[in-house]
Chains A and B, each alone.
Chain A
Amino acid sequence: MATRAARRVLPGFRLSFGYAVVYMCLLVLLPLSTLVITTAGMSWPDFWSAVSSPRALASYELTFGASLVAAVVNALFGLLVAWVLVRYRFPFKGLVDALIDLPFALPTAVAGITLTTAYAPNGWLGAPLGRLGIKAAFTPLGITIALIFIGLPFVVRTVQPVLQDMHAEAEEAASVLGASRLQSFVRVVLPQLLPAVLTGFVLALARGIGEYGSVVFISGNMPMRTEITPLLIVTKLEQFDYQGATALAVVLLTASFGLLFGTNALQWWTRRRLATP
């Protein structure tokens, strides 16, 4: 009722809607459609051999594997960081909280050279690791480190608001009912945070799969060993193998769209499950 009235009352629907749709079609949908067109121009065996070459398979394993490990690390530590930021007080908390978003705001290339320098064998963090016999830069571990940096804000920022809004009452109820701190965390707090943790996890994972700038510097870029899929796309482009590049791009896009669709479904499901009028 109110919406229909608003539709009549407020002006500018046609103009704003028309402009938004045309702009989006020209800038986003038209360019993305070239992926479909180019793929459609390929024969199935060509496509299959492009996406399943040993070098491509090795790059998937690395890209998805490192992204998965980084997202798991971020889920655990993101939960911890969010918990500490919401529940505890410590000096410079406001500053720490503001800096969480740094990976969102920092150009990936800067993140790349910085992390590489920090974790290089003679770097601030690479040297101590080296003495422990751990080589970080130019290995899959380095790639994972870069992806942890890139995905760090996701879980923190999805969990933080949920934790903030969570009533202390539920935990108090649990403790009055005889639950220990651990029982109350596992049985009462965690289930309420889990959807947010999962959402952040998937967002970090999707981001990690497509990440390029922060990884190319630290990865060493050895084919079959430390070559991520986005880098392989660039390599194919530089060799003017547009079709090969497109085929790999389709694989990446399918994966990240699938994940994103998954989070939307997850959020929808959570809202329904916890529907409180």
Chain B
Amino acid sequence: MTTTQTQVERPARVPARDSARAGAPSLGRWLLTAAALAFLGLFLFVPLALVFAKALEKGLSAYAAAITEPDALSAIRLTLLVTLIAVPLNTVFGLAAGWCIAKFEFRGKSVLTTLIDLPLAVSPVVAGLVFVLLFGSGGALGPWLSAHEVNVIFAVPGIVLATTFVTFSYVARELIAFMQAQGREEEAAAVVLGAGGVQTFLRITLPRIKWGLLYGVTLANARAMGEFGAVSVVSGHIRGRTNTVPLHVEVLYNEYAFSAAFAVASLLVLVALVTLVAKKTVAWRARVEKR
């Protein structure tokens, strides 16, 4: 429907692209498409298919057994716990950062924006390392922590901290981009009309950023559930205690329990696929609402 309308309104514009291609030798176009798809097949599609093929290799019952055995369940529980702490923390931060960066002018704004991206440039291994340096037995706070019998490293708090660190940027980045694109006139209008700060935020800002927020949270969620390097460094790999789902996958894989490893991994792949669907949906919703 929509395409037809555009064509009626601007007959010269829409076909312009078509005609730019019209003269292209279709053989060349076919070859380029084939080359691109072959590349993607080799590096994306085949591995994706392989996860499910290997996971279901030994049948559905083996699949169900692999994801319901006690160690797997405790890994799932731990991953959910960590995600439920890390993602909301970063969401609150994202909202605060988005609000002050998108709605106000202040000195050092670009520094703040750059610093928010910083954790993305840090190798996951280094992200784990800094917490070991801070809280580990040889670290800055180590002696004090062991004197008070608080375990951070090789325990759940360390995993939570490392996960929060690596997912730090996601919500904030999405929200800053989203809120900057929307400007601040509507909020200013609400305040002039007599709305308070909280009312303005809940009634004006939040409804407008909900898709960006949703996407940022989905991204952070996928990364939190799937983080491997940083968590691996701080966790100590204690089965049933400090194993998250990705670490459990590693353990199973290293024990040559391949189909069990892929069965558990397929759960994470599903999370990833949901994230991709969320991204498409958000892009689509944002387009719809712009109209």
| Residues on A facing B (Cβ under 8 Å) | 3-7, 9-13, 15-17, 19-21, 23-24, 27-32, 34-35, 37-38, 77, 80-81, 83-85, 87-88, 90, 94, 96, 98-115, 117-118, 124-125, 145, 148-149, 152, 168-169, 171-172, 181, 206, 209-213, 217, 230-231, 233-234, 237, 240, 242, 245-246, 249, 252-253, 256-257, 259-260, 264
Q: Are A245 and B46 in contact, CB atoms less than 8 angstroms apart? A: no
Return B28 CB to nearest CB of chain A, in Å.
8
Q: Which residues of A contact B23 (CB under 8 A)?
A: 181
Q: Which residues of A contact B39 (CB under 8 A)?
A: 77, 80-81
- Residues facing A in B237-263 (CB within 8 A) are 246-247, 249-250, 253, 258, 261-262
Identity of the chain B residue whose Cβ is nearest the Cβ of A217 in the assembled complex: B253
**Distance, CA A27 to CA B97, complexed state (A):** 14
**Distance, CA A94 to CA B159, complexed state (A):** 37
Which among B47, B93, B161, B226 is the interface contact of A114 at CB below 8 angstroms? B47
Identity of the chain B residue whose Cβ is nearest the Cβ of A264 in the assembled complex: B114
Interface string of B224-237 (1 = CB under 8 A from A): 01111100110000
**Distance, CA A15 to CA B36, complexed state (A):** 49
**Distance, CA A171 to CA B253, complexed state (A):** 52
Interface check B115, CB cutoff 8 A: yes
Q: Are B226 and A16 in contact, CB atoms less than 8 angstroms apart? A: no
**Distance, CA A175 to CA B168, complexed state (A):** 48
| Band of interface residues on B | 35 or more
Query: Beyond A10-B184, A107-B227, A114-B51, is A246–B35 a contact (Cβ under 8 Å)?
Result: no
Additional pairs, 17, CB under 8 Å, beyond known A209-B123, A249-B125, A256-B122: A10-B184, A12-B197, A13-B104, A13-B106, A16-B99, A17-B106, A24-B116, A28-B118, A31-B133, A32-B122, A35-B126, A80-B35, A106-B226, A113-B253, A114-B50, A210-B121, A213-B246
Q: Which 6 A-B pairs have the closest CB atoms?
A: A107-B226, A210-B123, A11-B197, A213-B228, A212-B229, A105-B272
Identity of the chain B residue whose Cβ is nearest the Cβ of A25 in the assembled complex: B115
Query: Beyond A31-B130, A87-B21, is A149–B47 a contact (Cβ under 8 Å)?
Result: yes
Among A10, A13, A206, A217, the most chain B Cβ lie within 10 Å of the Cβ of: A10
Q: Are B36 and A81 in contact, CB atoms less than 8 angstroms apart? A: yes
Query: Beyond A9-B192, A115-B47, is A90–B276 a contact (Cβ under 8 Å)?
Result: no
Query: Beyond A10-B104, A115-B47, is A32–B228 a contact (Cβ under 8 Å)?
Result: no
**Distance, CA A235 to CA B200, complexed state (A):** 52
Q: Which residues of A contact B106 (CB under 8 A)?
A: 13, 17
Query: Beyond A110-B51, A209-B123, A249-B126, is A125–B46 a contact (Cβ under 8 Å)?
Result: yes
Q: Which residues of A contact B258 (CB under 8 A)?
A: 117
Among B97, B123, B131, the most chain A Cβ lie within 10 Å of the Cβ of: B123
Among B33, B54, B262, B271, the most chain A Cβ lie within 10 Å of the Cβ of: B33
**Distance, CA A209 to CA B225, complexed state (A):** 22
Q: Which residues of B contact A15 (CB under 8 A)?
A: 96
Return B148 CB to nearest CB of chain A, in Å.
19
Q: Are B21 and A96 in contact, CB atoms less than 8 angstroms apart? A: no
Q: Which residues of B contact A246 (CB under 8 A)?
A: 129, 133
Q: Are A98 and B279 in contact, CB atoms less than 8 angstroms apart? A: yes
- Residues facing A in B195-242 (CB within 8 A) are 196-197, 200-201, 219, 222, 225-229, 232-233
**Distance, CA A118 to CA B192, complexed state (A):** 61
Which among B95, B116, B272 is the interface contact of A106 at CB below 8 angstroms? B272
Which among A9, A112, A206 is the interface contact of B191 at CB below 8 angstroms? A9
Q: Which residues of B contact A101 (CB under 8 A)?
A: 275-276, 279
Which among B36, B95, B222 is the interface contact of A80 at CB below 8 angstroms? B36
Query: Beyond A6-B184, A31-B130, is A99–B48 a contact (Cβ under 8 Å)?
Result: yes
